[in-house]
């Protein structure tokens, strides 16, 4: 019999509560009630059959930035991207998991581009691949587009980037690092995260 996935909508509440070591501070950050965070964590505990935060350590893996990325093809030709205002002549690719185009355009001082037009992808990978194919410009998440930028499949047409409102943490019981396999996994995660920065 196939095992059901855990309640994924509970993970942001768990991560925030573990990082802050407080349901109240997690609720403030997520703009929900204390009870909503408590219920989400309880649902996750019920699914996993274990109690989850006291005695937990939360270490920062990485922060992210958001910035436009596109195929190098879009930097050439008649409608090439030279300045943020040129986005008016290009397709904006939307990713539901990242910062809204409206925020980036406002920060760039651009008001002649409709931030809500063009397709929205439910997968960050699909949005990035559409950008690689030259179908438009996507707001890239630094950790997710690093390989494509390094391989010149994507380029950053503009310098402006915005810090993400979230970060990635590794969370574990403090005593777990006494186990060599857990420590080795934690160390590997930290090294991988540093290589993405």
CATH class given for the domain over 63-164? alpha beta
pTM above 0.75, yes or no: no
pLDDT at 149: 96
In a 13 Å sphere around the CA of 137, the CA atoms on its Cβ side amount to 32
pLDDT at 1: 46
pLDDT at 44: 79
pLDDT at 133: 97
- CATH 3.40.190.10 range(s) for the chain read 63-164
Neighbouring residues of 1: CB distance < 8 A, sequence distance ≥ 6: none
pLDDT at 77: 83
pLDDT at 37: 81
Question: Which CATH code fits 1-54?
Answer: 1.10.10.10
pLDDT at 6: 67
- CATH 1.10.10.10 range(s) for the chain read 1-54
pLDDT at 84: 94
Phi, psi of 94 (to 5 degrees): -105, 140
Q: Tens place of pLDDT for every residue, the chain, 197 residues?
A: 455 666 777 778 888 887 887 888 888 888 888 788 888 888 877 877 777 676 778 788 888 899 999 999 999 988 899 999 999 999 999 987 666 898 899 999 998 888 887 888 888 899 999 999 999 999 998 888 999 999 999 999 999 999 877 778 888 888 888 899 989 999 998 898 887 66
Most distant CA pair in the chain, distance = 61
pLDDT at 197: 62
Torsion on CA atoms 32, 36, 41, 42, rounded to nearest 10: 170
Please, what's the b/e burial string for 155-175 (b: 16 or more CB within 10 A of its CB; e: otherwise)? Answer: bebbeebeebeeebbebbeee
């Amino acid at each position: 019999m196939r095992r059901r996935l855990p309640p994924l909508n509970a993970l942001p509440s768990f991560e925030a509560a573990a990082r802050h070591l407080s349901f109240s501070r997690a609720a403030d950050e997520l703009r929900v009630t204390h009870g909503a965070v408590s219920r989400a964590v309880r649902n996750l505990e019920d699914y996993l059959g274990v109690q989850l935060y006291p005695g937990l350590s939360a270490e920062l893996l990485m922060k992210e930035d958001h910035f436009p990325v596109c195929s190098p093809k879009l930097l050439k030709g008649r409608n090439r991207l030279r300045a943020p205002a040129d986005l008016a002549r290009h397709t904006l690719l939307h990713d539901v998991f990242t910062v809204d185009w409206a925020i980036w355009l406002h920060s760039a001082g651009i008001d002649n581009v409709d931030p809500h037009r063009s397709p929205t992808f439910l997968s960050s990978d699909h949005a990035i691949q559409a950008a690689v194919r030259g179908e438009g410009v996507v707001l890239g998440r630094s950790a997710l587009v690093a390989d494509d930028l390094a391989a010149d499949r994507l380029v950053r047409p503009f310098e402006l980037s915005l810090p993400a409102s979230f970060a990635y943490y590794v969370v574990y019981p403090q005593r777990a690092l006494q186990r060599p396999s857990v420590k080795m996994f934690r160390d590997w995660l930290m090294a991988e995260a540093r290589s993405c920065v």
